[in-house]
Amino acid sequence: MNAKKRSLKSLPGSATRIIVFGVVQGVGFRPFIFRLAQRFGYKGWVKNIGSGVEIHIESPRPADFGAFLKAVQNEKPPLARIEQVTSRRAPFLGREDFQVQKTEQGESFVFISPDISVCENCRREMNDRRDRRFRYPFINCTDCGPRYTIVKALPYDRPQTTMAGFKMCSLCAAEYHDPSDRRYHAQPIACPTCGPWVTLRHAKTGKDVAGGIPRAADLIKKGKILAVKGLGGFHLVCDPLNPQAVLKLRKIKDRRTKPLALMARDLGALEKYVHCSSEEKKLLLSPFRPIVLLKKKNDIQGIAPHLDEIGIMLPYAPLHDLLLENVPLVVATSSNQKDSPIMKDEQEGIGRLCDYILGHNRPIQMRADDSVVKEVRSRPLFVRRARGYVPYPQKVPRQLQSSHHILALGGELKDTISIYKNGYVVTSQFLGDLDEYQNHLYFEETVRHLGQLFEVRPFCVVSDLHPDFHTTRYAQKLGIRHLQVQHHYAHVLAVLLEHGLSPKTKVLGVAWDGYGYGQDGTAWGGEFLLGDLQGFERFAHFEYIPLPGGDLAAKQPWRMALAYLQKMDPGMLQKADWLNNVDPKKISGVLAMLEKGIQSPLSSSCGRLFDAVSALSGLAPPENEFEAEAAMRLEAAAVSRTAAVYPYKISSGKTAFQISFTEMIGNIIKDRERGTGPSVISTKFHNSLARVILDVAGRARQSLGISTVALSGGVFLNKKLLGRAMSLLEGEGFRVLRPVNYSPNDESLSLGQIAYALARLKAGESLIP
């Protein structure tokens, strides 16, 4: 033993040990390091470990390895994201070659890549008759293919994915073990000989149907509804230009007016129907392939009624490319029954929703919907963050980092969960509304999956302040330290954490949405919060207005219009043509509620103001089929070029400024009586709200020196309002922050809750279970 030590010490040369942390597993990082070592003439090894990738390189001559480290950063594979690189001197071992070693098991905290669209190299091979994977719908390599939806555990190796049951043939195995090959250590590697295969079945009988993907395309053209299995679940697919097929699909999904997403073969297939900017094209063509909301050019009946945008994505799985060869445009909507999670297995009842099933036998470990984005001022605005972006991590500023693990559960609607460990937050995919039982099971499934995947042992759990949310009750049952944070403060904190603000940097947080449980027990929603990561105070808010019927007020916009009119001349109701489709008995009942103050809780909600104005403008349906339908119709109408605004009033309250829109409502009614169209009314309304933000921000700057404004909450999914507000604020010298990598809606609550818990831990507060 001593002789061996002496011989190692006597060996000349240099060596270093490198740990690379980040998204470095499942993205071709080890073969990249292998090739890099060969280029530099270094010996040693590389392997996956629980905390990333470990590299040992050595040279028989003195070397500082600086050029190698620089190349690691600058030439990394396209899907790799390096968060940290550490290196230290190591013993020179006299290695004779460079090897990719077997993964080292141990405590895991390493990031996994999201699912990535098929790359151009694979697409080219799939269309090459000479290639052995010609027209193979599961072609992939280290630069593309499934990741998050197939992984069971980390480190990311084939036995820990749903590909474990597919034994590689000799040709695939040769590619897998050849460092010069693009599929070197590509865990989902497969071919027609040894990999998954596609099946086409009749949905009702379960019998196989001959013809495969070409036959499936023919069935779509004949008006049939197909369930097509992708990366994160099934799509329901039909011909969008066949009104009968679209109507049939809407009946199956119980979706009367909610927009349906489309998948286009290529950019050429969508240009007839939508406008597409250069930035929007970049989003469509990116490896993440989200659904992008694009402005209509020519409407397609029944796809997105009453709205001015259509959601379109490009193919991201090889199967999609093959299917769309002969059908250039299809509806591709999530295969779920109303308000339930996307289905990932045929056994979940997919046959009830379609005529035929185009499935395959590669299991999906974690279901994930398609992501949905808009482009605002050349940057993405997430409507839904899921497939393609999850589970990319969010780094936490050093001043907030803690050694404790944290679990945050979000809110109730549009929920996500987040975990914190070792200075990073990982936020789950969109989970839906937890008042639906299947979504609650999905929520629990995701809590378990992320906890196991990243080996998180939470020191504390964080939930919303609302006492009756499912997430609050779930947190209480865990038996660990439980923190609760006010809904709108969490919205603001999410923006501060994403943009890396220091804990003591004060901002004016503008948090506008439909509902959040307030500290005073009322329903908040039109909030201006002055604060930082250490706390907040309510600087201003919308005037409290009753919600006649409680939750029904959010479903039936005309109720909110009546609520805003209660202080005005009752005679105005006699000319209210916007009430023509409402039962007079219901109107009388709501007016009685308002007069007596029964079943009408008070709210400062911005979302309900949108509902009221949409109803008064004659745009809102009698009842919303989906959340924010009335508000989305109002946004779609705001196409006038007028710069006019409606009057509003800001007054000093006991603890905060209050903003009244009573005069605005009166002027909207007068505009209607004068014959002013919905387009002008909506545009003036949007202009007015943007002006309110600037007005309140000006007061905060004048009195307190606040020059940074953070915009968050579901209302800021409104592209027109967000754009106007940012332009006004920046024009007056304010720094404006808004979510870029996350959605401003309730999906971001869990991220803000993590920030809250970290700030409490840093402040040294006692967290008692």
Helix (H, G, I), strand (E, B) or coil at 42: coil
Mean pLDDT of the chain: 94
Residue 3 has pLDDT above 70, yes or no: no
- Between 587 and 767, the more confident residue is 587
Determine the 3-state secondary structure of 629 from DSSP: helix
pLDDT tens readout for residues 698-744: 999 999 999 999 999 999 999 999 999 999 999 999 999 999 999 99
In whole angstroms, give the CA distance from residue 647 to residue 626. 30
Q: Which pLDDT belongs to residue 487? A: 98
Whether 60 and 12 have beta carbons less than 8 Å apart is answered as yes
Q: Which pLDDT score is estimated for 7? A: 38
Three-class SS of 348-406:
HCHHHHCCEEEEECCCCCCCCCECEEEEECCEEEEEECCECCCCCEEECCHHHCCCCCE
* 694: confidence class by pLDDT, cuts 50, 70, 90: very high
Please say whether the dihedral angle defined by the alpha carbons of residues 722, 727, 728 and 732, taken in this order, is positive or negative: positive
Mean local confidence (pLDDT), 547-566: 94
Closest to 213 (Cα-Cα) out of 74, 315, 320, 126? 320
Confidence at residue 8, expressed as pLDDT on a 0 to 100 scale: 38
Q: Is the pLDDT of residue 442 over 70?
A: yes
> What is the reported pLDDT for 579?
85
User: Residue 170, exposed/middle/buried by CB under 10 A (0-12, 13-18, 19+)?
Assistant: exposed
What is the DSSP code string of 656-681? SEEEE-HHHHHHHHHHHHTT--HHHH
Total-model pTM: 0.94
- Alpha-carbon gap, residue 114 to 724, rounded angstroms: 33
Residue 620's SS3 state is coil
CB atoms within 10 A of CB 39: 11
Q: Which pLDDT does position 511 carry in this prediction? A: 98
Check: CB of residue 310 under 8 Å from CB of residue 304: yes
pLDDT score recorded for residue 580: 83
According to DSSP, residue 764 is labeled T
Give the model's pLDDT for residue 766: 62
* Spatial distance between the Cα atoms of 716 and 606, rounded to a whole number of angstroms: 11
From CA 570, how far away is CA 332, in angstroms rounded? 47
Which residues face 203 on adjacent strands? none
Name the more confident of 570 and 324: 324
Tokens found for residue 471: 């997430």
Each residue of 154-208: pLDDT tens digit?
Answer: 878 899 999 999 999 999 999 999 988 999 889 999 999 999 999 999 999 999 9
Residue 750 to residue 409: CA distance in whole angstroms: 6
Cis ω on the peptide bond leading into residue 503 (within 30° of 0)?
A: no
Res 6: pLDDT = 34
DSSP state of 587: H
pLDDT for 10 beyond 70 = no
Residue with tokens 């779930």: 474
Q: Which of 392, 395, 390, 430 is nearest to 410 (CA)?
A: 430
Give the largest Cα separation in the chain, rounded.
Answer: 103
Question: What is the predicted pLDDT for the residue at 9?
Answer: 43
**CA separation for the pair 271, 266 (Å, rounded):** 9
Q: What is the pLDDT of residue 745?
A: 98
Neighbouring-strand partners of residue 429: none
CA–CA dist 172, 180 (Å, integer): 14
- Note the pLDDT tens digit of each residue in 22-47: 999 878 898 899 999 999 999 999 99
Confidence category of residue 104, pLDDT binned at 50, 70, 90 = confident
pLDDT of residue 5: 37
pLDDT in tens, 234-288: 999 999 999 999 999 999 999 999 999 999 999 999 999 999 999 999 999 999 9
What is the pLDDT averaged over residues 316-335? 97
Confidence check: pLDDT of 87 > 80: yes
E-state strands within 416-474: 418-421, 424-427, 460-464
What totals of helices (H) and strands (E) does the chain contain, helices first? 22, 31
pLDDT computed for residue 180 by the predictor = 83
Q: By percentage, how much of the chain surpasses pLDDT 90?
A: 87
pLDDT for 107 equals 63
- Torsion, CA 161, CA 167, CA 172, CA 178, rounded to 10: 70
142 pLDDT higher than 50: yes
- Answer for the pair 56, 15: CB distance below 8 angstroms, yes or no: yes
First and final C-alpha spacing in the chain = 52
